[in-house]
Amino acid sequence: LRHLLSTEALRRDQAEALLDTAAGMEQALTGRAVRKLPTLRGRTVVTLFYENSTRTRVSFEVAGKWMSADTINVSASASSVSKGESLRDTAATLGAAGADCLIVRHPASGAPHRIAAWLDRVGHSHLGAEGHVAVVNAGDGTHEHPTQALLDAATLRARLGRVEGAHVAIVGDVLHSRVARSNAHLLATLGARVTLVSPPTLLPVGVESWPVAVSHDLDATLGGDAAGGAPDAVMMLRVQAERMHGGFFPSAREYAIRFGLSQARADRLADHAVVLHPGPAVRGMEIASSVADSSRAAITEQVTAGVHVRMAVLYHLLAGEDVA
Ligand code: CP
């Protein structure tokens, strides 16, 4: 694995190796008074975020620190980006300054792919002849968020004991959601059955080519669809108001009524079914507070899994452990 840019390009053996390593990281840290592994001593991990983040940025920093990497956080607003420096020059500068890995979040779909291609073309003498700067996509526009999908799969593994054969309903604003796209591809690769549940206005062009079924009726999906079986997991999406420049249709009230996970809807789920949300959640519209705070919800477990998954990603990218 040279970079981690998408789940669409991830093979099943690669995804399973990352999830197995994440589980191994969790085990290695369990019961330790000092959560510090020497694995990445001497390596430098830089987060470069052009959009705000709490979970992804912090968990990458924690993951790096727990493996003894030097971690540096660069936010675009506090860097020379605010003086007009280009994406390419910014990435090249961080590579030349000694980054072994760049974790990139950007509002433009494809930005991390461009950075990876640019950095692959230039030499980095401090990294040796074989060295390169690894790039991780930490969310690019409406395209992909691969480590979010991996942490969601790790959470499903822990809660359900499996991903293969599970029916996962992904509910809400699919149009603007990089989480939905990354999950649709990864879950299908891992053998799950995915149903997207969304208003027609919040589905992307080309969704027909995704490995999913599509529904516009949350209540029908919760009751079980023609392919058989009610969901084993319901993944609620964040409504991305900041990307809705033309306004929001349906209205927030109508959305909550038709696509929100109310307590009444959660009560209809099978006993074993788990509720996920990538966060940040808009309580009362996307998900009722009582559901988000219930034992059925795995929202904080997702965050913890995110640290272990990001440790696994850094390990495979930087510690020379190739994923098949
Ligand atoms: N799920 C997620 O990406 O959250 P942040 O925006 O807080 O990183």
pLDDT tens digits, one per residue of 119-142: 998 766 556 545 689 999 999 999
CA nearest neighbour of 155 among 314, 309, 316: 309
Class of domain 12-144+306-318: alpha beta
pTM (two decimals): 0.95
CB 138 within 8 A of CB 150: no
Q: How confident is the model at residue 315 (pLDDT cuts 50, 70, 90)?
A: very high
Protein residue with least CA distance to atom 6, ligand 1: 53
Q: pLDDT, tens digit, for every residue of 249-266?
A: 678 899 999 999 999 999
CA 166, CA 274: separation in Å to the nearest integer?
Answer: 11
Please tell me if the domain spanning 12-144+306-318 has the same topology as the one spanning 146-303: yes
Residue boundaries of the structural domains of the chain: 12-144+306-318, 146-303
Ligand 1 in reach of 14 Cβ (< 6 A): no
Class of domain 146-303: alpha beta
CA of 148 to the centre of ligand 1 (A): 8
Q: Can you tell me the ipTM of this complex?
A: 0.99
CA of 151 to the centre of ligand 1 (A): 12
Residue ranges for the binding site? 55-56, 83, 105, 145, 148, 178, 238, 279-280
**Atom nearest to 145 CA in ligand 1:** 3
pLDDT of residue 224: 87
Ligand 1 in reach of 146 Cβ (< 6 A): no
Buried b (16+ CB within 10 A) or exposed e, 54-70: ebbbebbbbbbebbebb
Residue 225 has pLDDT above 80, yes or no: no
